[in-house]
Structure 1
Amino acid sequence: MAFETYKPSLDDPNAWVPYRYYPSIPAAAIFIALYSIVTIAHIVIIVTRRTWSFTPFIIGGLFELVGYIGRAISAGDIWALGPYIVQSILLLVAPALFAASIYIILGQIMVFVNGGEFSLVPRRWLTKVFVAGDVISFLLQMADFLNLGEKIIIAGLFAQIVFFGFFIVVAITFEVRFTRHQAALSLKLAKWKKHMYTLYVGSLLIMVRSIFRVVEYLMGNNGFLLRHEYLLYIFDATLMFLVMVLFLWVHPGQLRTSPSPEEATYTLDIDANNALKQKGSSHHRSHRV
């Protein structure tokens, strides 16, 4: 479908147009290449290490890739709605899939250190709660493409920020509680710390991108952000690419590998301490009776 009879000026502030500029083919081509490389690398790792729980992350990478292919096609005809809608939808929702994988990673860290009891949200509900928030956000964002209005999509983006913000609070609270409880943490800081820091950096990148998107939609079709394509590549394309590189560098599949002797001893100490606490609590209750 295309605008066959009416094509308003791209500078007309009162008209809705798919783009306020002619999309850059070189910029789209660069990110098509970058996302192709990093997504293929993630696919290789997920297959070789059998980390199937990280599948949403791969799908997010594919969404980014196809989204920028859509932008490259739009450069040939900015009035064609098909490529425009494809790139709008896929680039909008891909970070939600990255976020879903980050939720899963926190749960894996809790399992790795046997510290689920220190989470604000019970570990068995952790992924379910936040993925449900992602689904709500996703459905609200899709409403815009069903002609239900931009206010709905803004609500979806706000929902994404709220749920993701709460997740960051949960992650930080877990780390603080667990670190405070385990005096032996200085042993080697174990590998879980590295994954927590990676989770924080990835979360920050996604949060910045989400805020950028909210401001973009609040400013409207003729807003400053939608009139300058380079901002999309700085605050969306680049940030999401860095998220993919980050989790390629520190892959959550490492949490499934056998722990080192020091880490194994550390985990045994945790189990022993917990067992002693439970035994002491039980003895105290029986003594009171």
Structure 2
Amino acid sequence: MFTHKILGAFLLASLLELTLAQETGKKGEINMDNGPLAYQPSIAGNIIFGILYFVLGVAFSYHIHVHRSRWAICLPAGAIASAVGFFMRPIIDADDLQLGPFIASNILVIASPSAFLAFNYMLYGRFITAIDPKFGNVATNASTTILAEDGTKQPKGSLRESSKFSFIPPLIVGRIFIISDISTFMVQVVAGSMQGQAGDDNPELANIGDKLFLAAVSVQGLSYCLFTLLLTVALMRLVVDRRSNKSHALEGGMLGLGKQTTFIAVGFYISSLFIILRSVYRVVEYTQGHQGYLISHEVYLFILDAAPLVLAIGIWSFIWPTILLDRIASETRALDSSQPNTSSVHHNNNSRSDWVPLV
């Protein structure tokens, strides 16, 4: 399952990160005057955000267990990793800096949010299959069916199967953007280790690390902006489809989308807004360089990185997508009078978002 490969890639990068931290930690100590950290980390601020991420990680784990949303495991994994990163920061002494703990905490805080982006990427494909009543219903042979948990055969759709709402086949959207996400994640791991090893004796290494980080977060931010555009186009096409066929319009919500679809669309945009805000902050931060104003003041890490990301993923703890996707799929298929046999495919109690083999 591609989801397991994603988690494996993040775990592999984390092991690489910890190995680099351990090796560089053997090279000695540096202080605030010649090291990569220009301030003493706040105990209260870091503990507060560590607790927030940990609580969200527990909440997401609960949702995944209750609703069997195993595809979403990257969300609690990223939240817990961020929590560990913030919990580690208060033990760092900027005047007597141990490189190992600094590098590990720095990369966990900066790079772990890649998992949050991966979650939204995977959610997009499941959203498209929920709003498109015809998607996945063309399968007629064993090679294009899978077994649901109740033993019944279910259509799965090929990777190239298109949807009228998405100009990229929904089953490969997650794969495309997650490959980009993992690539930038790995670059950030390498850049973080380079920054940690740099001091006054080797400023060029810090500059290279900064440039690598800038390139990685820039590509990551641009990739997510393109994804947001893809989402917007899908929603616009859905609105046009509902307006052209008034029998498909739903009460409640906005623009005839229905309450459930509106909820998940709003969730997407709230999450995306704060992810893009955080990406802009990171781009500006590393544009300023290793000795820049933003990177030298911890308060900006809290208000322009940690807080926006808490809000970006926190929205999903209130409206768990799997619940909404099930309701959306039921509504849209009930409206599709041109496919009378469609509803019989989905009468079991399993979530369509779980059995559709998306990333």
Return 5+ residue gaps in structure 2 as ranges: 1-24, 134-162, 195-207, 253-257, 342-359
| Mapped partners of 2:29, 2:233: distance in 1 | 57
Compare 85-94 and 199-208 and name the one that shifted more.
Answer: 85-94
Give the aligned partner of residue 165 of structure 1.
Answer: 225
| Mapped partners of 2:120, 2:307: distance in 1 | 18
Give the aligned partner of residue 185 of structure 1.
Answer: 249
Residue 247 of structure 1 is aligned with which of 316, 325, 340? 316
Identity %, equivalent residues: 24
Q: How much does 1:228 deviate?
A: 1.1
Compare 222-231 and 169-178 and name the one that shifted more.
Answer: 222-231
Residue 214 of structure 1 is aligned with which of 283, 296, 299? 283
Given that 2:214 and 2:286 are in contact with CA atoms closer than 8 Å, whether structure 1 keeps it comes out as: yes
Q: What is the TM-score of this pair, normalised by structure 2?
A: 0.68
| Mapped partners of 1:88, 1:6: distance in 2 | 16
1:92 counterpart SS class: helix
| Mapped partners of 2:260, 2:48: distance in 1 | 34
**Against the structure 1 CA distance between its residues 60 and 78, is the aligned structure 2 distance closer, same or farther, given a 3 Å change threshold?**
farther
**Against the structure 1 CA distance between its residues 72 and 179, is the aligned structure 2 distance closer, same or farther, given a 3 Å change threshold?**
same
**Against the structure 1 CA distance between its residues 76 and 26, is the aligned structure 2 distance closer, same or farther, given a 3 Å change threshold?**
farther
Deviations 1:230-268 (A, max 9, x none): 1100011111111232110111121354x38xx745423
1:141 equivalenced with 2:141 (yes/no): no
Q: How much does 1:65 deviate?
A: 0.5
**Against the structure 1 CA distance between its residues 228 and 2, is the aligned structure 2 distance closer, same or farther, given a 3 Å change threshold?**
farther
Deviations 1:72-120 (A, max 9, x none): 2214865111121111111112221101101111111111112632102
Given that 1:3 and 1:79 are in contact with CA atoms closer than 8 Å, whether structure 2 keeps it comes out as: no
| Mapped partners of 2:289, 2:108: distance in 1 | 19
* AA aligned opposite 2:251: L
| Mapped partners of 2:43, 2:88: distance in 1 | 11
Q: How much does 1:150 deviate?
A: 2.2
Q: How much does 1:8 deviate?
A: 5.8
RMSD of aligned C-alpha atoms? Answer: 2.4
Give the aligned partner of residue 62 of structure 1.
Answer: 80
Q: How many residues align?
A: 266
**Against the structure 1 CA distance between its residues 211 and 2, is the aligned structure 2 distance closer, same or farther, given a 3 Å change threshold?**
farther
**Against the structure 1 CA distance between its residues 26 and 70, is the aligned structure 2 distance closer, same or farther, given a 3 Å change threshold?**
same
Give the aligned partner of residue 128 of structure 2.
Answer: 110
Give the structure with the higher percent helix. Answer: 1
